[in-house]
């Protein structure tokens, strides 16, 4: 374990940024960087990276059942230790969102320093993944986020074994995100949305771990004499086709659908009930056909807040982006 940065918090506790590394046997090996823990509530992503680290250690010890590490693999399991300890999306001392603090600066606040150091240690990679959780109080489908969808990215996204990939539109904040910083440095980079904030979903974590193993096979950084990367039919959606469904009445939201469900226009999705009498104040219905991508799992809502998010713009084929 390598210490990349160490300082002391205002209360005297140490703050450390660690990196785990495994080195390939190729003469000029390629490198992948895998990052999680930008926020303190991304627990499923952390679990999947812990599983990956344990497995890579087994391979290094000769217990990998035929797997060989042929490229360089860098893991950054916990970027913001202080936020992780608090179980919060941000550290309550500087309140900076790590996901929109890149490229950071070594002269800045702690969060800006961590972002800058992380970037310095990843931009020379060939491949990169960042695992991130959703907004607070939401459960999303585990998915892939892409900034471009060429043939190589199609292969890498499909290797992760997730059903949905989102092609992101340009937005003012993207230049402050590590994914865009990596792309500008010509890395083959993607993000993985891990499902639900502040919850460790072991089943999802195991699926992400197996997906990352398959991804490493697809990149050629991990090899096996018999195992080849499995191919997943991942559907590509436009992120700008995400439809937020809001409630008109405040109260207690009860969902009647889960994620991964395709709903029709006019289908009932849930209802808002009064806190003091349990009466139904509003029925939430789908305005159009779409895939239920995310549900609000905290039931208390104000009027006008989103409660369901649908994906409505599915690309019929990836081939329109190839070439």
In this structure, is the dihedral angle defined by the CA atoms of residues 217, 219, 225 and 230, taken in order, positive or negative? positive
What does the DSSP 8-state code read for residue 234?
Answer: P
Q: Measure Cα distances from 87 to 8, 39, 148, 284 in Å.
A: 19, 8, 32, 31
Q: From the options 2.20.25.90, 3.10.129.10, 1.10.10.10, 2.40.50.100, give the CATH code of 240-311.
A: 2.40.50.100
pTM: predicted TM-score of the whole model, two decimal places? 0.93
SS3 115: helix
What integer pLDDT is reported at residue 318 of this predicted model? 66
What integer pLDDT is reported at residue 86 of this predicted model? 75
* 3-state helix, strand and coil shares in percent for the chain, rounded to the nearest 5: 25, 30, 45
What integer pLDDT is reported at residue 9 of this predicted model? 79
What integer pLDDT is reported at residue 323 of this predicted model? 38
What integer pLDDT is reported at residue 13 of this predicted model? 81
What integer pLDDT is reported at residue 55 of this predicted model? 97
SS3 2: strand
- Asked if the domains 2-233 and 240-311 are classified in one and the same CATH topology, the answer is no
What integer pLDDT is reported at residue 322 of this predicted model? 44
Please list, residue by residue across 26-60, b when 16 or more beta carbons sit within 10 angstroms of its beta carbon and e when fewer do: eeebbbbbbbbbbbbbbbbbbbbbbbbbebbeebe
Which residues of the chain fall below pLDDT 70? 316-323
Name the residue ranges covered by the structural domains of the chain: 2-233, 240-311
What integer pLDDT is reported at residue 134 of this predicted model? 85
Select from 193, 180, 102, 178 the least CA-distant residue to 144. 193
Task: Report the CATH number of the 2-233 domain.
Answer: 3.40.630.10
What integer pLDDT is reported at residue 319 of this predicted model? 53
């Amino acid at each position: 374990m390598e210490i990349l940065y160490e300082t002391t918090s205002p209360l005297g506790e140490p703050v450390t940024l660690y990196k785990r590394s495994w080195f390939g046997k190729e003469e000029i090996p390629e490198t992948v960087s895998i990052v999680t823990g930008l926020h303190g509530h991304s627990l499923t992503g952390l679990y999947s990276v812990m599983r990956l680290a344990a497995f890579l250690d087994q391979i290094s010890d000769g217990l990998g059942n035929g797997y060989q590490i042929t490229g360089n693999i860098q893991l950054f399991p916990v970027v913001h230790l202080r936020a992780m300890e608090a179980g919060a999306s941000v550290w309550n001392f500087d309140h900076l969102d790590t996901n929109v603090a890149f490229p950071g600066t070594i002269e800045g606040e702690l969060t800006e320093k961590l972002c800058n150091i992380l970037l310095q240690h990843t931009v020379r990679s060939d491949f990169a993944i960042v695992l991130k959780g959703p907004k607070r109080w939401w459960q999303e489908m585990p998915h892939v986020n892409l900034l471009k969808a060429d043939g190589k990215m199609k292969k890498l996204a499909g290797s992760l074994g997730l059903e949905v990939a989102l092609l992101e539109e340009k937005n003012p904040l993207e230049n402050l995100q590590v994914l865009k910083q990596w792309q500008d440095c010509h890395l083959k980079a993607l993000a993985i949305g891990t499902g639900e904030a502040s919850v460790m979903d072991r089943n999802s974590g195991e699926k992400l771990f197996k997906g990352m193993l398959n991804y490493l096979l697809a990149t050629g950084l991990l090899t096996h004499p018999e195992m080849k990367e499995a191919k997943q039919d991942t559907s590509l959606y436009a992120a700008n086709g995400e439809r937020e469904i809001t409630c008109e009445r405040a109260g207690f939201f009860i969902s009647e659908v889960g994620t991964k469900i395709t709903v029709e226009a006019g289908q009932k999705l849930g209802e808002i009930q009064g806190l003091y009498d349990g009466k139904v104040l509003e029925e939430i219905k789908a305005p159009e056909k779409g895939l239920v991508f995310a549900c609000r799992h905290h039931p208390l809502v104000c009027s006008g807040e989103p409660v369901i998010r649908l994906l409505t713009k599915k690309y019929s084929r990836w081939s329109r982006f190839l070439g």
